[in-house]
Structure 1
Amino acid sequence: MELKFFKDFDFTDFWNKSSYSERDYIEEFPDDEMIASVEKELGYKLPASYIELMRIQNGGLVEKSCFPTTESTSWAEDHVAITGIMGIGRDKTYSICGELGSKFMIEEWGYPNDGVYVGDCPSAGHDMILLDYSKCGKDGEPEVVHVDQESDYKKTFLAKDFETFIKGLKNEEDFDGE
């Protein structure tokens, strides 16, 4: 597969290889039909960089699990943490259309319906990573934001697009531990 977005990105040690990741996150590789079906169900055109990553590995826990922020969040003063990236599909618990996927977070947890929730955080649902379409429309290139349920669904800007978000993820050790 010819990469358009992640050409210079080293995926060594990016994904967490575990039975939990296999069982609850990693879907079969999405074909065009599955992508179209999921986009129709969610009402948003998925970013090409997200689709490309899901064709490398369709969801999973990540080793590089922290993204730097310029403002403090419920997680830390200088970063947010994620558990995993949701894959394109419906079969796994943590897929964007899975049991605890994007629609569930909107319908059951009251998250803003501003896009597609693609990343979960260690807080067990109290904060999420959103592809935010509120500025670009349903077919545009969404920003990536952190949405904090504990702070009245406050959004913290993370990255101008999904590719920038993935490339900006860092190891937990890169941040000073408390």
Structure 2
Amino acid sequence: MELQFFKNFDFTNFWDNDEYSRKEYTEDFPGDELITSIEQELGYKLPDSYIELMRLQNGGTPKMTCFPTSESTSWAEDHIAITGIMGIGRDKRYSIGGDLGSQFMIDEWEYPNDGVYICDCPSAGHDMILLDYSKCGRNGEPEVVHVDQEDDYRKTFLAKDFETFIKGLKDEEEFDLE
């Protein structure tokens, strides 16, 4: 597959692919019909870079799970952490259309309906990663933000787009976890 995004990015060691990840996150590769159906259901045009990554592997847990922040969050002073990246589908619990997916977080946990929640965090629902369409509209290129349920759903800017977010993930060992 010829990549439009993620040029010069090595995915060889990107995914963890442990048993839990395969069971809870990884869906079959999404076809155009499923993508359109999920977009209509959630009300947002998914970023092309997100779709491209999901066509390489549709959801899972990356090996690099931290992203640096310029301000502190409920997770840490200088970064956030993710558990996994939700795939495009409805079959796995942690897919954007799954039982614990984006709409569930909006309906049940009262997260703001400003986009599509694409990553869960180790806090078991108390913070999430959002493709935030509040500045660009439902069909634009969303920013990636951390939404902190413990701090009145405060948003912390992470990246200008999904590709930048993925390329910016770091190993937790790069941060002082004391």
How would you bin the TM-score normalised by the shorter chain?
over 0.9
Distance 1:7 1:130 in 2: 23
- More deviation in 16-25 or 160-169? 16-25
Fraction of identical pairs, as percent: 77
Within a 5 Å distance, the mapping from 1:85-96 to structure 2 comes to 85-96=85-96
Give the whole-Å Cα distance in 2 for the aligned partners of 1:177 and 1:113: 32
The corresponding residue for 1:136 is 136
1:41-87 CA distances to partner (integer Å, 9 max, x unpaired)? 00000000000000000000111000000000001000000000000
CA–CA distance in structure 2, aligned partners of residues 119 and 12 of structure 1: 21
Tell me the matched-pair count: 178
The corresponding residue for 2:36 is 36
Any idea what the Cα deviations from partners look like across 1:109-138, whole Å, max 9, x if unmatched?
000000000000000000000000000000
How far apart, in 1, do the equivalents of 2:60 and 2:97 lie? 14
Superposition map of 1:15-26 within 5 A:
15-26=15-26
The whole-number CA distance in structure 1 between the counterparts of 2:48 and 2:109 is: 28
**Which residue of the partner structure matches residue 80 of structure 1?**
80
1:60 and 2:60 correspond: yes
Return the alpha-carbon distance in structure 2 between the equivalents of residues 72 and 177 of structure 1: 13
Q: Could you state the TM-score of these two structures normalised by the residue count of structure 1?
A: 0.99
Amino acid of the structure 2 residue aligned with 1:149: Q
Residue 8 of structure 1 aligns with an amino acid whose one-letter code is N
> Is the deviation greater in 52-61 or in 5-14?
5-14
What is the distance in 2 between the residues matched to 1:12 and 1:176? 26
Instruction: Report the TM-score when normalising by structure 2.
Output: 0.99
Match for residue 148 of structure 1?
A: 148
Deviates more, 1:153-162 or 1:4-13: 4-13
Unaligned ranges ≥5, structure 1: none
Query: 1: distance between equivalents of 2:170 and 2:25?
Result: 20
- Runs of 5+ unmatched residues, structure 2: none
Match of 1:127 in 2: 127
CA RMSD of aligned residues (A): 0.5
* Aligned-partner Cα distance in 1 for 2:109–2:67: 24
CA distance in 1 between counterparts of 2:167 and 2:49 reads 11
Where does structure 1 differ by over 6 angstroms across 4 or more consecutive aligned residues? none
